[in-house]
Amino acid sequence: MIRFAKRFIKMLNMSKKPTLQTVAQKAGVSIPTVSQVLRGTGRISAKTQKKVMDAAKALHYVTDGRAASMRSGQTSEIGMIIHYIANPFNAELISGVSDTLEKEGYLVSILDSQDNVERQQRNIEAFIRSSRGALLWVPATNTPHDTLDLLNTHNLPIVTFLRGAYEGIFDHVGIQNEAATSCATEHLIHLGHSKIAYFGGVGASETRIRRVEGYEKALRANGLDYSLVWDAKDDKVSGLEAMLSLREKHPEVTAIVCNGDVVALGASHALRRLGEVPGKSFSIVGFDDIQDASTATPPLTTIAIEPYNFGIKLAQVLINRLKNPKSPTATTLLPFELKIRATTDVPIADNS
């Protein structure tokens, strides 16, 4: 059961706000007539239309979406719940989604769950309370079943993305995580590395599990038995610190496959601080291809996923779902590309 928000905004000066009533009076017609003109039903004469439009414009009339939505059972508001807004990959993705959906007349609100299930629950309740008509969702790690019950009761169209925890139940737009890290790992193996670690991420999010699987699969396929997963939170400073401790505790490791470009760049920075040269003494493969990946020194070898395009694709999948509510759920996996730049090379033993 949901309690109300603690604080409310008392709307000021309600008297000033124009309504259909106000416009109808000024135009000298009835309320339904104004409503029809504004919605463009085409059942009103040109002369009356002009009168109404003029009045509405003069009064700066804007439809009250709450009333309209309540009566018509339709809405143009879409909610999005993501685990971390400020990450540059996600921020670009959000831009792609918003631009596409706004162009179609929708309004997107974004909430940051911080990958926390209680916060996610509150976010979903907030969206239901505010009558969002659809949801774009990155499910938080260990989402409880109660959350699904809530979503199911209120029955809104949902597209999950990035994390494929509910493929088949909802539409999904994702990344070929397993294939991508396999590809990255094989790239390092072909260069001659045998002590390769998986670097970055924390805990068992869907995405990370898949990526680690891809990494391990590539190791197995090439008969390598050394395997190591090293945690690091998803920011540059954490990547830097984790790399320093990795070098100290596991000097045998000569290459890492990273959970994201941000930690990869942090790791790269750590190497330079240790007087090493990324790509020479040690190889690094990133993930995401954020803008900084190509402009960093040295430029980062990474898995490229274009976040803005991902956002566009995600928006399109949602639009499709809304147009065809009855169609079966589908999963869309976007392609990736391994961009080989300067942070990967043959291991130093073979090199010297």
Partner DNA sequence: CAACAATGATATATCGTTATATCAATTGTA
Partner DNA sequence: TACAATTGATATAACGATATATCATTGTTG
| Range 295-334, binding DNA (CB under 7 A) | none
**CA-closest candidate to residue 120, choices 91, 140, 148, 145:** 140
Indicate which of a copy of itself, DNA, none lies near residue 238 (CB less than 5 to 8 Å, by partner kind).
none
Q: What type of residue sits at position 90?
A: N
CB of 22 to DNA, least distance (A): 7
Strand partners, 181: none
Nearer to a copy of itself, 6 or 349 (CB): 6
Residues in Cβ contact with 145 at an 8 Å cutoff, skipping those fewer than 6 apart: none
Indicate which of DNA, a copy of itself, none lies near residue 94 (CB less than 5 to 8 Å, by partner kind).
a copy of itself
Nearer to DNA, 37 or 243 (CB): 37
- Applying CB under 7 A, which part among 13-21, 77-85, 93-101, 262-270 lies near DNA? 13-21
Indicate which of DNA, a copy of itself, none lies near residue 76 (CB less than 5 to 8 Å, by partner kind).
a copy of itself
Tokens 């390769």, located at residue: 196
CB of 254 to a copy of itself, least distance (A): 23
HSE at residue 130, side-chain half, CA atoms within 13 A, is 20
- Write out the two tokens for 26: 């000024």
CB of 3 to DNA, least distance (A): 10
Nearer to a copy of itself, 19 or 194 (CB): 19
CA distance 52 to 101: 29
CA dihedral in degrees (342, 343, 349, 352; nearest 10)?
30
Tell me the CA distances in angstroms from 219 to 186, 213, 351, one per residue in order. 8, 10, 22
CB of 38 to DNA, least distance (A): 6
Nearer to a copy of itself, 3 or 43 (CB): 3
CB of 14 to DNA, least distance (A): 6
Is 19 near DNA (CB under 7 A)? yes
Nearer to DNA, 25 or 331 (CB): 25
Measured in degrees and rounded to the nearest 5, phi and psi for residue 133 equal: -90, -10
| Range 20-79, binding DNA (CB under 7 A) | 20-21, 29-33, 35-36, 38-39, 43-45, 47-48, 61, 63-64, 67-68, 70-72, 74
CB of 336 to a copy of itself, least distance (A): 21
Estimate the crossing angle of helix 206-221 against helix 177-191, to 10 degrees.
40
Is 5 near DNA (CB under 7 A)? no
Nearer to DNA, 74 or 155 (CB): 74
CA distance 345 to 281: 9
CB of 227 to a copy of itself, least distance (A): 29
Estimate the crossing angle of helix 31-39 against helix 20-27, to 10 degrees.
100
CA dihedral in degrees (275, 281, 287, 293; nearest 10)?
50
What value does the CA radius of gyration of the chain take, rounded to a whole number of Å? 26
Tokens 């003494």, located at residue: 281
Nearer to a copy of itself, 182 or 343 (CB): 343
Q: Which residues bind DNA (CB under 7 A)?
A: 4, 14, 17-21, 29-33, 35-36, 38-39, 43-45, 47-48, 61, 63-64, 67-68, 70-72, 74
